[in-house]
Each structure stands twice: as structure tokens, then as C-alpha cells.
Structure 1
Amino acid sequence: MNRRSFLKFTALAGFFGIGASGTAMALARSSNRYHSGPVSDHFDGVRFFNPDGAEPKGFSDLLKWKFGGKQPRWPAAVRSPFAPTSPDPRIDGDRLRITMVGHATLLIQTAGLNILTDPVWSDRASPFSFAGPKRVTAPGIAFEELPKIDLVLLSHNHYDHLDLVTLARLKQAHDPLVITPLGNDAIIKAHTPDMRIKTGDWGDVIGEAAAKVHFEPCHHWSARGVNDRSMALWAAFVLETSGGKILHIGDTGFDNGRPYQNARDRHGHFRAAILPVGAYEPRWFMKDQHQNPDEAIDGFLLSGADYALGHHWGTFQLTDEGRDAPAEVLDAKLAEKGVARERFRPLSPGEAWEAPLTA
């Protein structure tokens, strides 16, 4: 293995939170450095888990994947068909506009609020600045062009979702409130001690300004290194505003549709759903934690949302599908299932979608 391959593999081991020694894992089982709380149906006192769900793969499976298959080469740089945008300062009333920055980072504007999801403006989604998945598309909004950010919805702590450097920049420039599941506050405050943060468990709700943010279960996991697997919680969000209800999922396995049916049962009608459609190959390794476009459509239909927007594709090469495959597969599966293309759009960086007005 050459040096470049070794660094990439090391970054992946950290990214997927596997590869720790037996001693380190034994120590990790004895305590949780991010969260302390009572045992629940998804927390055993040390680690969070998916009730009746599947555990993420282990180190031997990572080796099998990385050295037993062939990953397609992505282009080093891709220009989005949409020019970088300069968003309006505010979108008021019941209007709803969602702009893609890249990967899982989107700007949601409604009810006079500016909300970012899983903000990453760094060049790499990695524990290292010199190795790991590198950005191939420029952010669809330059950081300096952001309107005043009020809230950040941070779904979980994987490096393509929780970027400490970007959060520190946001603190300095905007001082937003970060809303995130249990345990992630410890990670953020170790880097940016004065960050404003509120945490919640599945089923909790936080009311802020003109919005309510509900924490919903999804089927995923968390890790920042090799001995902290699932020590911080992951979640989907339901955003409730005068612009309607929005279901946002940063990352999930399809899990027999449970994340979608549960959300619909609890919250009823959604004006829009923001759903991951990428990072799904090979299926034997990714299926339990990352849904594919076919499953994303099924989830959209189960949720009952009017429209869906696809994210988590085309920015960082994390897995084995080609760069454009998620959008192409999504398009084909929409046609196969008889769902109008305008109802589920995979957004590209710089692309802004405005929800049609409803009666």
C-alpha cells in the first residue's frame, strides 16, 4: 500500500469509527465521554443504538470493501450547472426556499428564518486536513455571501456533517444557535467553547423564534474516531414553521420505512422532505446505514410529503457509486414508479428551489 492509499484508508477508518484495538474498545465500552444519561430504548448507558435495527459493519468488513472491490474514479473538479448564488437576506411569511450548498449543507429560508443544515465549507470531510474525501464541487453559496444565519440543524457527528472549522467560522460571523442530538455539544464545545447549543433526544422539541424543531429517530450511527462509536446520538428533524412542516434527514438507512412512517404518524402533512440519496454502494456494506435513491423515493411516498429534495451526493466521494449515479438512478426510478420528476429533485450546488404555493 503506498503512502497516499494508507492515508486515505486511515481517514476512512476514522470516518467510519472502526479499527480500534481490543483494549481501546474495552475502555470505550466502560464510559461515554460525550453524554451521561439514563438508559432508554435506544441508549444502553454507554452507546446509542437503533432499536430492532442493524449495527454498522466492523473492521474486517471495511477491509473486505476497500481491498476487495474497485471504486470508480471521480473527476477532480466538477462545475455545477448552477452558478453560486447570493441568497435574499430573508424570506418571510409562508414562502419556502431551499438552496443547495453541497452534500448535506442546505440553506432553508422561511418565516423570516435562515437555517443551515449540517454546514461544511471545508475542502475535506475528514479528521485530517491533508487526507480523506475531498470536495469536488465548490459550495453553492460562498461563505461570505451567507445571509444572517439564525439556526443550525446538525444531524450527527460524522465528518461530512459535523465540521468544527465551519462551525467556528459561523460562530464568529453569525453566532447561530446549533440544535443537535445528545452528545454532539461536547464535541463542538471542546473546539468552540462559546458556541450556543441546544441538544435533544428523539421525541424532544425545541421552540425557537418562529420555529419548532422536533427530534425524530432515523437509522444511522455516529463516530469521530476509532473508539467513540455511537457515543453521540443521531437524528432526523421536523421543522415546524408558518411556511409548513419540513422533514429533514441528514443520513439514514431505509429501515423498512420506519423513519418515514414514524414521522408521518407523529406530524401529519409535510410540505417538503429533504432526503439523502447518495453514498450507498456497495449495498452489502452500506444498506443498513445509507439508503439508495430507490429507497429514498419509497420513503418520500411513505412520508406523504408534497415534494422531496435529494442531497448527500456529488460533493465528496465517500463510497463506490459514480459521481452522477444518484441523480441518474433517482430519475430512472421516479419514472419506473410513476412519480413526477418535479416532485423529487436532486439539488446541485447553487440550485435554489422554491416551494409552490398551496391553497
Structure 2
Amino acid sequence: MRFLLIVLCTGVIMAGCCSQKNLDSQYENLEHYQNGKFKNTQIEYKSDFSSFLSNVWKFITNDSKNKIPKENTIPVNKLTKENILNMPNNSMIRIIHSTLLFKLDNKYILTDPVFSEKITPFPFVAPKRFHELPITIEELPFIDIIIISHNHYDHLDEPSIKKLKDKVGNFYTTLGIKKQLIDFGVDTMKICELDWWQSCTNKTIKITATPAQHFSGRGLFDRNDTLWASWVIKSKDTNIFFSADTGYFEGFKKIAEKYGPFDMAFLEAGAYNESWKEIHMMPKETIQAFKDLNANILFPIHNSSFKLSMHPWNEPLEIINKLAKKDDIKVSHPKMGEIIPLLEYKKTDIWWE
């Protein structure tokens, strides 16, 4: 029974415990908003209760080995506040999952901050993260910008936001999420909500929300009440793409036309399954998205931190590495907490074998 509850909690995370009815008429003229809900423009993703139960059953009966790493398998480079303050410009750190810390033009930018041990409204039965954090929120310096890509629990973590809110300059997020951030205690004046193709500028840093093929929700009754997005982060010297969660779609080519080429593309590669490939890329699709985006270096994210699918925990990086080698693609997969440059390729260890 406890295991079933864990699976159901995972389902809440993946299927998106609050209800937020979006009553704003300002969205009605948007191409990707219909009947009070946001929607994808290239596919209509639907997941009914029977298919959800089918996936739960597969999750329970799946006998894939190595779904969870053994304790202390994943290496973590522990950091202090001094390490962060001494980061060179145009560098970054992967903290966990899709939580990335950038230093650009002497400003700190944090994506989808998740510092909790469990990512669910039911922490008493949820699976734990696979590894320690390289740094705690308390040790972080002032963060100039936080980007929230969408409101799923593994990207919008309420406890983390509540701890971070007083040491953050601005929150950039998608349509509809402002209310949730305010509910978490964030000052409304700090929040910039963006539609696809809209930008906010913070001195020398320009943040643009770009399309993604996904969905939103934090419970059973708020599906697609808020928007989801991928992101372009541009500074004086760097141009970065952050996919957040998305299935493969033709939109990558349009993003590249408008905002490319990119120095580094941080692309989803993990928590995938053929049953939901429309909203989470399979590894070969991650490679294709990278090619579409006209980027220099591929950085796979959304893996190695939580059990959110049925594949072995290290499968995403194994497959991505093999496919990239075949196509002569430069891939960066540093340890959690390892500081790497954005403008030059630094070969990183095969730490997951």
C-alpha cells in the first residue's frame, strides 16, 4: 500500500494540492488559450484516468534494474558561499534536477529552484532525492533572478520559494503563476509574468519565455490553468537555452531562428516514457532538439535526482552520451556542484557508470 501511495504521488507530480481557477479574460485572444485553459499548439495532450492507472500498474510491475542508485553513488561537489561568490563570470553549476545556478555579468540566475528532499504534496510517502545538495539555500548569496518554467512540483517547490523569497531580486515566470508565488509570500513587485515570445530585461540580462510542449497543474482540478515555457537567457557575452520540461516539437527550429545560435543548450533528458513522449523528450529527441537549436554544447538536465519514471536512473546520460558521440556532439555532464564555463567546452567525467 505504501508503494502504491508513492506511485500515486509521483502521478500527481507528473500529471500535475491546490486548485487555481483562472478567471482572467486577458488571455482569451491567445492562440494557446482556449475555454479557460492553456494548450499546446502542435498537439493536444490528454491523459485520462484509465491511462493514468495503466501507467501506475506499469510503474509497480516494471522490473528494470537500477531504477534507484545505491547510496552515495552520485558524486556531489560540496560548495560554500565563498565558492559561489568566487565563481567566474559566464559559468554555471548544476545543483539538482533542473535547478541551475548561472553567474552572468556579475549577476546570479537560478532556474526552477528545488532544494527539498521530496517533491510532492505528500512528503510522508514520497521517494527521496538520490543525492545530497551541493549547497543549501542559507549558503547562497543574493540571487538576482529566479526563473520558474512551470508549476509542477519538481520545478515549483513551495518550501524552497518561501526560504529564497527574501534574498531574490526578481522572479520571471509564465502566465498564471504570479498568484501562486504571491501565495508563497513573494512580493508582487518582484514578479514578471511572461507569455511565449515575451521578454523582461534586468540591466544587461534579457530573459525570454519561449514555447514548450508540456502541460501544467499541481492537483486534479487545475490542469493547464497556468502556462509552461522554455527560456532564453542572454547576457553581454552569452546566449543560453533552458528547455525545462517539453516534448520534441517543431518549435525548437523557430526558437533558433529568432534567438540562436546558443552557446549552451540545457535540454531535458530524463523521466521519459513512450506513453508520454509528447510532453517529455526521449533521448534521441533531445539530440534532435539540440541540432534544431543550433547550439554549441549540450547539457542534459532533468535526470539523476528523483525517481519519476520507469527507466534506470543512469540510462538518460548513458544513451545521450552514446548518441552524442556518434554525431560528434559536445556534451557537458558535470557532477552536481561542479563549476563549469559556458563559453568553452570542458570535458567532464563519466561519473554515473
Q: Normalising by structure 2, what TM-score?
A: 0.89
How far does the alpha carbon of each residue in 1:12-54 deviate from its partner, in whole angstroms, 9 at most, with x for none? Answer: 3422347xxxxx9xxx9xx526885323110014110111213
1:55 counterpart (36, 45, 55): 45
In structure 2, the gaps of 5 or more residues are 346-353
In structure 2, the residue matched to 1:88 is: 84
SS, match of residue 332 in structure 2: strand
The one-letter amino acid of 1:50's match is N
Q: Which amino acid aligns with 2:239?
A: K
| Aligned residue in 1 for 2:162 | 168
1:329 match: 319
Partner residue in 1 for 2:141: 147
Query: Who is 1:21 aligned against?
Result: none
For 2:271, the equivalent position in structure 1 comes to 279
How far residue 224 of structure 1 moved from its aligned partner, in angstroms, is 0.3
In structure 2, distance between residues paired with 1:254 and 1:242: 29
In the alignment, the residues of structure 2 paired with residue 227 and residue 310 of structure 1 have an alpha-carbon distance, to the nearest angstrom, of: 32
Residue 190 of structure 2 is aligned to residue 194 of structure 1: no
Aligned length: 338
What is the rounded CA distance, in whole Å, between the counterparts of 1:348 and 1:219 in structure 2? 28
Which residue type is aligned with residue 38 of structure 2?
F
Following superposition, the deviation at residue 183 of structure 1 comes to 0.6
Q: Secondary structure at the match of 2:39?
A: coil
Is this contact kept in 1: 2:206–2:233, CA < 8 A?
yes
Moved more, 48-57 or 241-250: 48-57
1:84 to partner: Cα distance:
1.5
* Counterpart selection for 1:296 from 251, 267, 286: 286
For residues 208-287 of structure 1, what are the structure 2 equivalents within 5 Å?
Answer: 208-255=202-249, 258-281=250-273, 283=274, 285-287=275-277
Q: Distance in 1 between matches of 2:334 and 2:33?
A: 34
Map of 1:10 onto structure 2: 8
SS in 2 for 1:263: helix
Where 1:171 maps in the other structure, the secondary structure is helix
Does 2:31 correspond to 1:37?
no
Structure 1 residue identity aligned to 2:49: F
Distance 1:166 1:74 in 2: 24
Deviations 1:56-115 (A, max 9, x none): 4222111111213416441363443342223331656xx411101010001011111100
Q: Structure 1 residue 296: deviation in Å? A: 1.0
Q: Secondary structure at the match of 2:165?
A: helix
Q: Give CA deviations for 1:290-324 in whole Å, capped at 9, x if unaligned.
A: 01222111111111111121110010100011111
Instruction: Return the alpha-carbon distance in structure 2 between the equivalents of residues 32 and 310 of structure 1.
Output: 33
C-alpha separation in 2, matches of 1:242 and 1:45: 41
Query: Aligned equivalents of 1:289 and 1:78: distance in 2?
Result: 31
In structure 2, distance between residues paired with 1:33 and 1:140: 41
**Within 1, Cα distance between the matches of 2:293 and 2:185?**
36
Q: Give the residue type in structure 2 aligned to 1:354.
A: P
Please say if 1:306 is aligned against 2:296: yes
| Structure 1 residue 8: Cα displacement | 1.6
Which amino acid in structure 1 is aligned with residue 271 of structure 2? A
Q: Give the counterpart letter for 2:328 in structure 1.
A: V
Cα–Cα, structure 1 residues 56 and 113, in superposed 2: closer, same or farther, change >3 Å? farther
**Structure-1 separation of matches of 2:15 and 2:265:** 28
Structure 1 equivalent of residue 328 of structure 2: 339
Shift of residue 230, structure 1, vs aligned partner: 0.7
Q: 1:233/1:90 Cα in 2 relative to 1: closer, same or farther (>3 Å)?
A: farther
* Alignment-derived partner of residue 353 in structure 1: 340
Q: Secondary structure at the match of 2:298?
A: strand
Could you say which residue in structure 2 is the equivalent of 1:184? 177
CA distance in 2, matches of 1:35, 1:176: 29
Q: Which runs of 5+ in 1 are unaligned?
A: 19-23
Q: Contact 2:238 / 2:343 at 8 angstroms: preserved in 1?
A: no
Percent of paired sites with the same residue: 27
Distance 2:151 2:23 in 1: 14
- Tell me if the contact between 1:90 and 1:109 (Cα under 8 Å) persists in the aligned partners: no
Deviations 1:135-158 (A, max 9, x none): 111122232332321100110000
Q: Secondary structure at the match of 2:300?
A: strand
Would you identify which runs of 4 or more consecutive aligned residues in structure 1 move more than 6 Å? none
Structure 2 CA distance for partners of 1:292 and 1:17, relative to 1, 3 Å: closer
How large is the RMSD of aligned CA atoms in angstroms? Answer: 2.4
